[in-house]
């Protein structure tokens, strides 16, 4: 089972867009996928057509130990794709786990205890901030996909993630692998071209071959609680997201072969 987190400490980078649509693409090819939403905004659930407001139990109960994954994981409208939803209740996690010695390891332990063979992929949508929740995501994931909008601040957020990985590796002796850095929200501007070139220099082997452009169809799909493959399957956004998902899938096959 692959455990992949979609992370950037800057918001508005298409992190949730990638997580949900990659999950749908994988599910459409027969893989059993669980999306774990670790963001209090609950956008992963909303993007899959799930009303998460007031929903219980959620990942909060799963992490604090008052609900099992079988109670939290819910089917979605997409075959083979389940969701462990989040909502504002997750903001109470740092207080709820303040005195717990394993407070940064809860997600890791819960993922270790998942029923064997139930899911082929667990995709985690991380919050766009630094917190105990983010720390749990970095400890629990085995791979990272980092979306970087082609703006200065998003590039800075990517650099912060790299520093966080280095600190985690120093502290624990291990950290998730950086599987893919995905340029997003691309426009034909000089600034975007310069940032893309910087990404090529810093991530020569991890940079995605496909750049995700800005797409109104993707925004429309999310507003309807649908993936791009259901809303506009022939759009440029659908083609680009499918290509990115295929790169992530190939990365796993290459790792297993190695």
Residue 245 has pLDDT above 60, yes or no: yes
Mean pLDDT for the stretch of residues 151-168: 81
Residue 211 pLDDT more than 60? yes
Q: What is the pLDDT of residue 254?
A: 53
As a whole number, mean pLDDT of residues 237-246 equals 98
Which pLDDT value is given to residue 152? Answer: 73
User: Cβ distance 20 to 48 under 8 Å?
Assistant: yes
pLDDT, tens only, 67-79: 999 999 999 999 9
Q: Say if residues 28 and 54 touch (Cβ distance below 8 Å).
A: no
Q: What is the mean pLDDT of the chain?
A: 93
Instruction: Give yes or no for residue 154 having a pLDDT over 70.
Output: no
Strand ranges of the sheet holding 121-125, from the earlier edge strand across to the other edge: 74-75, 81-84, 33-37, 121-125, 2-6, 143-149, 177-184
pLDDT value at 219 more than 90: yes
d(CA 155, CA 183): 10
pLDDT attached to residue 130: 83
Per-residue pLDDT, averaged over 137-151, amounts to 94
pLDDT digits (tens, 9 = 90+) for 36-64: 999 999 999 999 999 999 899 999 999 99
User: What pLDDT, on a 0 to 100 scale, did the predictor assign at position 258?
Assistant: 46
State the average pLDDT over residues 102-130: 95
Asked whether the beta carbons of 20 and 121 are under 8 A apart, the reply is no
Q: Kindly give, in sequence order, each residue whose CB lies less than 8 Å from that of residue 233, ignoring residues fewer than 6 positions away.
A: none
Single out the residue of 143, 135, 136 nearest to residue 177, CA to CA: 143
Average pLDDT over residues 120-148: 94
- pLDDT value of position 25: 98
Residue 11 pLDDT level (bands cut at 50, 70, 90): confident
For position 209, what pLDDT does the model report?
Answer: 95
Judge whether 124 and 1 are in contact, CB under 8 Å: no
pLDDT digits (tens, 9 = 90+) for 168-181: 999 999 999 999 99
**pLDDT digits 0-9 by tens, 27-36:** 999 999 999 9
Residue 183's SS3 state is strand
**pLDDT score, position 253:** 56
Residue 255 has pLDDT above 60, yes or no: no
Q: How confident is the model at residue 190 (pLDDT cuts 50, 70, 90)?
A: confident
Average pLDDT over residues 125-132: 90
Rounded Cα gap, residues 207 and 30, in angstroms: 26
């Amino acid at each position: 089972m692959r455990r992949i987190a979609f992370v950037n400490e800057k918001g508005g980078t298409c992190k949730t867009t990638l997580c949900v649509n990659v999950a749908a693409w994988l599910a459409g090819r027969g893989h059993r996928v669980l999306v774990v939403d670790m963001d209090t905004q609950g956008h992963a659930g909303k993007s899959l057509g799930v009303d998460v407001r007031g929903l219980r139990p959620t990942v909060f109960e799963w992490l604090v130990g008052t609900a099992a994954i079988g109670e939290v994981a819910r089917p979605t409208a997409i075959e083979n794709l389940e969701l462990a939803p989040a909502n504002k209740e997750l903001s109470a996690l740092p207080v709820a786990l303040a005195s717990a010695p394993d407070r940064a390891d809860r997600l890791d332990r819960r993922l270790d205890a998942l029923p064997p063979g139930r899911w082929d992929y667990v995709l985690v949508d991380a919050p766009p901030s630094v917190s105990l929740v983010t720390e749990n995501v970095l400890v629990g994931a085995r791979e990272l996909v980092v979306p970087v909008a082609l703006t200065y601040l998003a590039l800075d957020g990517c650099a912060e993630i790299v520093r966080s990985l280095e600190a985690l590796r120093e502290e624990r002796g291990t950290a998730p692998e950086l599987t893919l850095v995905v340029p997003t929200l691309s426009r034909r501007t000089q600034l975007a071209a310069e940032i893309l070139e910087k990404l090529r220099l810093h991530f020569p082997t991890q940079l995605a071959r496909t750049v995700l452009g800005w797409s109104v169809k993707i925004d429309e799909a999310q507003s309807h609680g649908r993936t791009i493959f259901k809303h506009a399957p022939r759009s440029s956004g659908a083609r680009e997201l499918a290509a990115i998902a295929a790169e992530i899938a190939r990365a796993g096959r290459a790792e297993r072969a190695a």
